[in-house]
Amino acid sequence: MNRRTKGKGRGHKRPSRSGRKSAPPRTAKEYFSKPERFQDRWNRVVHAVSRMRAGASLRQASREYGLDPRTVLRLAGPALRKTRSGRWVARVTDRLLRILVIPTTDGLREIALRDSRQASLLAGYWDAVQRYLQIGDASAIQEFDGVYITDADGAQFQLLTNLDELNRLGSAGVLSFESLYARSA
């Protein structure tokens, strides 16, 4: 009598567990349709990749953001590459989705970026805004005069460099460093 049950022999793939293998979000709509727990994990994965770009190892970056290195590899694989020595490093740029916040005259607006260079540009802008609000140094903000951020859909947003508007938003408490990341971060 054969003890093997039908379908459990060699080459049979197990059906994937529902919800276990979440694909990386490619649009803001996909990102916001995911549970908050996934959004938080995704944000930490993107941060880990950025940390790796700054020189941290996969293990260090994963630990810093409370992730399993396999999760980072699974979700951010295209943003990473393996060196000849077997070490995982971040590529110079990536196309991982990031939901970030940009100040406008109407307040803060969430935008989806799919270019790490655009995200870095926006982060530099936020650093300049914080420097201005904290110590009054507007020189760094003027470097962003006329600069646009292009979102994942190709829409362009001009960075706000009007000091009166920035003062107004800062006085209203709208511009804090934590404002850079989307509401779920």
Residues 77 and 109 in one domain: no
Same domain (yes/no): 113, 175: yes
Residue where one domain finishes, among candidates 44, 62, 90: 90
Count of domains observed in the chain: 2
Residue 142 lies in a domain: yes
Q: Are both 86 and 103 inside the same structural domain?
A: no
Q: Would residue 131 count as lying in a domain?
A: yes
Q: Which pLDDT does position 22 carry in this prediction?
A: 75
pTM strictly above 0.75: yes
Q: Is there a single domain that holds both residue 37 and residue 70?
A: yes
CATH number of the domain at 85, please.
1.10.10
Q: How do residues 147-183 score in pLDDT, each as one tens digit?
A: 999 999 999 999 999 999 999 998 888 886 555 555 5
Give 69-113 pLDDT, tens digit per residue. Answer: 999 999 999 999 999 999 999 999 999 999 999 999 888 999 999
Same domain, 174 and 125: yes
d(CA 118, CA 93): 10
Q: Indicate the residue among 38, 62, 90 that finishes a domain.
A: 90
Boundary residue ending a domain (90, 122, 143): 90
Same domain, 102 and 164: yes
Cβ(77)–Cβ(96) below 8 Å = no
Residue range of the domain that includes 119: 98-180
Angle, CA of 123, 170 and 44, to the nearest 5°: 35
Reported for 133-142, long-range contacts at CB under 8 A and 24+ positions apart, including other chains, are 133/166, 133/170, 133/175, 138/163, 141/166
Same-domain check for residues 69 and 141:
no
Q: Are residues 150 and 82 in the same domain?
A: no
Partners of residue 181 on adjacent β-strands: 100
pLDDT tens string 104-147: 988 899 999 999 999 999 999 999 999 999 999 999 999 999 99
Residue with tokens 């009007």: 162
Residue 185 banded pLDDT, cuts 50, 70, 90: very low
Q: Are 109 and 82 contained in the same domain?
A: no
Least Cα distance to 87 among 69, 75, 74, 71 occurs for 69
Based on the fold, state whether residues 165 and 117 are members of the same structural domain.
yes
Domain assignment present for 7: no
Instruction: Give the count of alpha carbons within 13 A of 2, CB side only.
Output: 5
Residues 78 and 133 both lie in one domain: no
Tell whether 68 and 105 lie within a shared domain. Answer: no
Helix axes 163-171, 116-135, angle to 10 degrees: 80
User: How many Cα neighbours within 13 Å face the side chain of 156?
Assistant: 4
